[in-house]
Amino acid sequence: MPSGYIIPFILGVVIYYFAEDVVHVRRFGPITDSTRSSETGGLAFRVMGLVLVGVGTVKFLHAYISW
């Protein structure tokens, strides 16, 4: 089942690569406040991307290498 490790790996790479381009929007009644993650460096998205790459790698190793 290649989608079990390809999807998390590709999704993790995309999230890591585009971490600074994510826009956060908060809505409080008629007021909308938005910021870009480039102001914080996108650290949370970079960590999440690395975690997904790790999950995809572990699933790949588990599928093709016997422990």
Residue 22 phi, psi (nearest 5): -75, 135
Which has the higher per-residue pLDDT, 23 or 52? 52
Residue 43 makes CB contacts below 8 A (sequence gap 6+) with 19
Q: Is the pLDDT of residue 1 over 60?
A: no
Q: What is the pLDDT of residue 32?
A: 66
Q: What is the pLDDT of residue 60?
A: 85
Domain count along the chain: 1
Residue 63 makes CB contacts below 8 A (sequence gap 6+) with 1, 4, 5
Residue 57 CA neighbour count, 13 Å, CB half: 8
Host domain of residue 16: 3-64
pLDDT in tens, 2-49: 677 788 888 888 888 877 766 666 767 677 666 665 566 677 778 888
Q: What is the pLDDT of residue 4?
A: 76
